[in-house]
Amino acid sequence: MKESCRLLACIGLALTLSAQAAHAVPLIPDSLVSLPGTTVAAEPQLGGVIQVDELVPFSFDIYHYDAEAGSYDVVGAISGTVQVQVVRSDLDGTMDFYWRVFNDATSTGPIGSFRFGGFPDSFQNVNFRIDGLGEVDSISAYRFSEAYGGYVNFDFGDALVPGSSTKFFFIDTEAPSYQRTAFYDLTNIGQTAASPTYPMYAPIPVPGALLLFGSSLMGLGAAVWRRRHNA
């Protein structure tokens, strides 16, 4: 009887972990979604231990096209820092990838978006944290079509003005490990100018993880059934 209770408890825990994914904001290819913000209290799987915490400076020029002269002139520059974090979830041991963008007070304009590529197609939850540092929300995220499935834009609207910073925005993945194989850049409003690209961390996907998880649930259920009928 006690062993059956333990097996049922394991099934309950597994179902609980699965149900927490219902809080996710899914990104369907070729779609734009609004981000409502979230907290660890609402999504406990986001709590964890920081594995990587880096500050990466960036800068890029803003140009204006002079039609009369037929040339582009530099009219300003945007600079700042991206805080890059990788967090291992305390709840399920998987990796979450976080970013926070700082726009220098000396910049000549707002930052419009943070965009990245080369990210494996294994993420399930995109959002931003309202229970941490920063002032500016990530108002939306756009995932490109399947041919560019690992490319995503986080948009800040026109709120990331000089001297401000975003709240942490993130991707919650099912991967148990990570590597430095993706890249990102930042753009101005309208994406008429962009920073150089910078390397970033990405999950190492485990394609069979979900199938294995489902098989484990089936195996646990069958074990409980056998024990009940053999008692």
Q: What is the CATH number of the domain that holds 139?
A: 2.60.40
Residue 4 lies in a domain: no
Number of C-alpha atoms within 13 angstroms, CB side, residue 98?
A: 26
Task: Give me the pLDDT at residue 123, please.
Answer: 66
Q: Looking at the DSSP assignment, which residues form a beta bridge with residue 172? A: 96, 125
The model's pLDDT over 132-157, given as tens digits with 9 standing for 90+, comes to: 999 999 999 998 887 776 889 999 99
Position 64 pLDDT exceeds 60: yes
The model's pLDDT over 71-129, given as tens digits with 9 standing for 90+, comes to: 778 889 999 999 999 999 999 999 999 999 999 999 999 999 999 998 886 666 899 99
Dist. CA 187–CA 60, nearest whole Å: 9
Residue 40 lies in a domain: yes
Weakest-pLDDT range from 53-57, 170-174, 195-199: 170-174
What's the whole-number mean pLDDT along residues 39-48?
A: 94
Residue 173 lies in a domain: yes
CB 179 within 8 A of CB 171: no
Residue 134 lies in a domain: yes
What is the pLDDT confidence band of residue 182, given thresholds at 50, 70 and 90? very high
Element (H, E) at 74: strand 71-89
Q: What is the mean pLDDT of the chain?
A: 82
Gyration radius of the chain's alpha carbons: 22
Residue 13 lies in a domain: no
Residue 39 lies in a domain: yes
Q: Greatest CA span in the chain, whole angstroms?
A: 90
Position 17 pLDDT exceeds 60: no
Number of structural domains (the chain) is 1
Task: Give me the pLDDT at residue 52, please.
Answer: 97
Position 66 pLDDT exceeds 90: no
Residue 17 lies in a domain: no
Number of C-alpha atoms within 13 angstroms, CB side, residue 169?
A: 27
Domain ranges, residue 128: 24-206
Residue 18 lies in a domain: no
Task: Classify each residue of 26-60 as buried b or exposed e, where b means 16 or more C-beta atoms within 10 Å of its C-beta.
Answer: ebeeeeeeebebbeeeebbbbebeeebeeeeebeb
